[in-house]
Structures are given as structure tokens and as C-alpha cells.
Structure 1
Amino acid sequence: MLSKIKTAVNQLQRKFINHQLRSRLKNHGMTVISANCVGAFILHDLGEPFNSPFVNLYLSPKNFIRYLQHIDFYQQQSLEFTASEKSYPVGKLADIEIHFMHYHNAQEAKEKWLTRSARINPDNLFIMMTDKDGAIGIAYDDLVAFDQLPFKNKVVFTHKPYPELRSAFYIKGFELQNQVGDLFAFSDWNGRKYYDQFDYVTWFNQT
């Protein structure tokens, strides 16, 4: 019962928070490329369209970084689907595996991928990743590789500080874990989510 009350309170307060966030946002129609669902949740809160195929899916950090290192090449590859024991479609772009966790079938996943790929705006591009990867979290070498990517607007959310990495942003609340948890979850009773620790509206507005 208490959890239901907390959820209801948070959802009510979230509507007010989202209204404030949207009123501050000046840069619209940005393309957010995110390794997991965090980017889509943020865009949904802001009432922004999905101008990227990276929605409701997941890539391992290594695959995500490889994609970003050769983004033009991978966007020209045909998305194919392979047999999988997963309950959702698993696609491949050349040698990169993409998990479409929230899609019913391969046809739906491919249609959304193609439609949203056509909306990518390289002049209004923002990159997001987290240090979440399986049970042990991301390897430090992958954090370094991400930090070295030649994109102006990129951030990786981490469970502990990495002051030596310019793109790392420490999210408080997961210090006893090996990685961040679900950043789109409510962190308290005030309608705020874990990713709200990062001022993404100011980040989007800076271009």
C-alpha cells in the first residue's frame, strides 16, 4: 500500500516538474543517442520527439562505443535480425548487436529503426551512456574510450566520481553497487528521478 501511495504522489508531482522543465527548454528537436532507455525517458518528460532510433532498446557499452566511433558506417548498414533465446527481437548492424527489449517483433523494431534513423540531426546531437553493464558494471577502459569520442555533447552517468573523465557525471545513490541502477526511477517522495541530478535542460540549451 505504501509503495502505491508513493508512486501516486510522485506521479502527481512529476507533472509539475515536467511542466517546469519544458518551460526552460529552448533547444527543440535534438537528436539523443542513448545506449539504453534513459534518453527516451528524458525526451518523454520534455515532450520532445524521438529523433533517433535509440529508443526502447539496449546496446552493451562496447557495442555502443563502436557504433559511435564509426557512426556513418553503421547507419548505412542494413538492420538484420537473428534467432535468439530472448523474449524480444535481437538485431545486428554488421558486427553490432542491438537488443530491442520493448518491441513485439522484428518487423516493428525495424520499422521504428528506419523511421527514426531518418530524423537524426548531426548538428543537434547529444550522446548518453551509463556505467551499467551486466552484473559487474562497465570496464574502466570503456569509460576512457567513451570520454575520448569526438562529440561535443556527451555524458556517461556513473555510480561513483571519475574527476579525470570530462564526460562522467556522478549520480548519487548507487555507491554500494557496481553500477548505476534505473535512473528513471523516482529517488524519493518529491517526484524527482535519479537522472534529475544532471541538469539536462541546461545541457540541451547550450548549443
Structure 2
Amino acid sequence: MTIEGLRLKLLTIKRKLPANLRKKKINKTKFTIISNNCWGGEVYECYNLIKQSPTIGLYFMASDYIKFIKNIHYYLKQPLNFIDPKTSKYYNKVKSQKGYGTYPVARLGDIEIFFMHYTSEQQVIAKWTRRINRIDWDHILYKFNDQNGCTLKDINDFINLPVKNKICFTVQDKYAKAPYIKKIKAPRSHTEIMASYEPFGNSKYVNVNDLINSL
């Protein structure tokens, strides 16, 4: 097991054991997190809540995620068209990732989604559809980070999105240009944030309890 894998397993325990106690610190249990990776699902686990977003257990390449949230209502109406992972337009960038090729990859219009924590197309469709119907458009948070080919243009596009509630995690000093872009301390060798470094609950980088309460 890699160090990252071990960190993620330990953090799963840390998230889930005090979840019901943590839930008492938030003022709502219905809210939606639209995330570019698995962070949204982890937050719901932190509070022992059902997952109220289709962006659970998956990831987008950075530019596709920005495109997705710029026109989210349009994209959520499009069908998921599953593809051979080897035909992904990002294949050369993602083929070396652990497990790539073993999980579903789908096109949603002109963007691609990598369902890394799913085992079948049927499972993806069932959960994607169910969770779209759970979206709470009145209490929604858009979350981004510097993973998956993120560039300064993607960060600036995220900054310029006309949405009220958003947060971005990065390990890069050059990206910290807005109060909701949070620089996270990580080893110097990290050029992008790893999943195990993204904060949840009440951390020194961001109080997620307060973030939820403000939605």
C-alpha cells in the first residue's frame, strides 16, 4: 500500500467515527457539493449524511470541470455515453494512474467523467440519476482543486464564475489569488494537492462546518 493509500484509510476512520457528533455543529442537513473529485462524498460521510450530489466517487479533468459548472443545467440533462477508457481524449495523461481502465469512463456532451469508485455502467447510471434528483439548488457549494491538469487559466476561470459559494484547495502559492482559494501545506515534492491533504470538518485551513452553515 502506498503512503497516500494508508493516509486515506486512516482518514476514512477519522471522518466516520465522530460523524454524528460533527453533524450537531451544522445548521442544515440538505445541501449539495459539486466537486471535481471525491471530496464532496467525503464531506457527506463526515456528517453521516446521504450523498446529495451526482459528483461522488469520480473526477473531472480541470478544464472539463470548469466547463461543467459553467453550464451545469445543460450538462445534467445530457445522457452519459460510456466509452472505452483507451479512447479518452485524456488517455495519455491518465493511463498511468493506478486502476485506470478498470472503471467506467463516460462522455457527458463534450466533457469526460472518470467514475473511479464505480464497478459498472449500471451502478453509475443508477447513482448519477438518483443523486441529480437530490440536488438542493438553494444550498450549493462548488469545490475545485489544482489536480488533473489544472492551469492558472482554470483557476482564473473558477475565480470568475458567477456563483455565490465556492472553495478551491491548492498547494501552489501562485494560485492563491482569492480568499476562497486555500493554500494547503504539503511536501515540497507535491505539485498538486493529493486527496488525503484536502481538509474536512474543522481544520486549520478551512472550517467546513462554517462553510456548510453559510450556504
**In structure 2, what residue type is equivalent to 1:154?**
K
CA distance in 2 between partners of 1:126 and 1:74 (Å): 17
Q: Residue 201 of structure 1 corresponds to which residue in structure 2?
A: 209
Equivalent of 1:93, from 100, 108, 120?
108
Moved more, 195-204 or 121-130: 195-204
Cα displacement string for residues 35-59 of structure 1 (whole angstroms, at most 9, x for unaligned residues): 1011111110111211111011110
Moved more, 114-123 or 13-22: 13-22
Deviation at 1:75, TM superposition (A): 1.1
Q: Residue 160 of structure 2 corresponds to which residue in structure 1?
A: 148
Moved more, 37-46 or 8-17: 8-17
CA distance in 2 between partners of 1:170 and 1:33 (Å): 20
Cα displacement string for residues 100-124 of structure 1 (whole angstroms, at most 9, x for unaligned residues): 1111111111111111111111111
User: Does the aligned pair in 1 maintain the 2:172–2:191 contact within 8 Å?
Assistant: no
Cα displacement string for residues 70-91 of structure 1 (whole angstroms, at most 9, x for unaligned residues): 1111111111111224111111
Q: Which runs of 5+ in 2 are unaligned?
A: 87-100
Instruction: Trace 1:37-52 onto structure 2 (pairs within 5 A).
Output: 37-52=38-53
User: Does the aligned pair in 2 maintain the 1:144–1:165 contact within 8 Å?
Assistant: no
Deviation at 1:14, TM superposition (A): 5.3
CA distance in 1 between partners of 2:9 and 2:73 (Å): 44
TM-score (norm 2): 0.80
> In the comparison of the two structures, how many residue pairs are matched?
195
Moved more, 118-127 or 82-91: 82-91
Aligned partner of residue 24 in structure 1, secondary structure: coil
CA distance in 1 between partners of 2:54 and 2:185 (Å): 29
User: Does the aligned pair in 1 maintain the 2:16–2:45 contact within 8 Å?
Assistant: no
Distance 1:175 1:153, change over 3 A: farther
Instruction: Trace 1:1-207 onto structure 2 (pairs within 5 A).
Output: 17-85=18-86, 86-133=101-148, 137-161=149-173, 162-183=175-196, 196=203, 197-207=205-215
CA distance in 2 between partners of 1:64 and 1:7 (Å): 23
Over the aligned positions, Cα root-mean-square deviation in angstroms equals: 2.8
Q: Which runs of 5+ in 1 are unaligned?
A: 186-191
Distance 1:118 1:23, change over 3 A: same
Deviation at 1:21, TM superposition (A): 2.3
Identity of paired residues, percent?
27
User: Does the aligned pair in 2 maintain the 1:147–1:166 contact within 8 Å?
Assistant: no
CA distance in 1 between partners of 2:28 and 2:201 (Å): 23
**In structure 1, what residue type is equivalent to 2:23?**
R
